[in-house]
Amino acid sequence: MNGMHDLGGMDGFGAVDRIPGEAVFQHEWERRAFALTLAMGARAQWNLDMSRYAREQMSPSHYLLSSYYEHWLHGLEHLMIERGLVSAAEISAREAELCSSLPHDAA
């Protein structure tokens, strides 16, 4: 099966070049999204395969327009909502709160 998440395993897209000294996380939210994903995984309510599957549920257009850590955040939100740990409304409200605190040119 060739889904959007399988692009790395498909031919014709060229090599992925790593830039020496490049930061693993470009923004603080990426570090937090990754850390939260690992921390929530420690609760043993899902496993690594379920976490990957949750990331793969992103629509193809959203997947292609989003960053690596946005994929991780999407998967985490999906799993937490699915298990009743948080509601979609709570996530939306927090997202709106965070966006409203950004300077106008950063939003």
- 42-73 pLDDT, tens digit each: 888 888 888 889 988 888 889 889 998 999 99
Q: Which of 82, 30, 32 is nearest to 54 (CA)?
A: 82
pTM exceeds 0.85 for this model: no
CA 55 centroid distance within chain: 7
* Highest mean predicted confidence (pLDDT) among 4-18, 30-44, 45-59, 67-81: 67-81
Q: Which of 91, 95, 67, 65 is nearest to 78 (CA)?
A: 91
* Distance separating alpha carbons of residues 10 and 56, to the nearest angstrom: 16
CA Rg, the chain, in Å?
16
Q: Taking the domains of the chain in order of start, what are their residue ranges?
A: 25-100
The whole-number pLDDT of residue 8 equals: 53
* Distance separating alpha carbons of residues 71 and 82, to the nearest angstrom: 16
Superfamily of domain 25-100: Nitrile hydratase, beta subunit (1.10.472.20)
pLDDT band at 21 (very low <50, low <70, confident <90, very high): confident
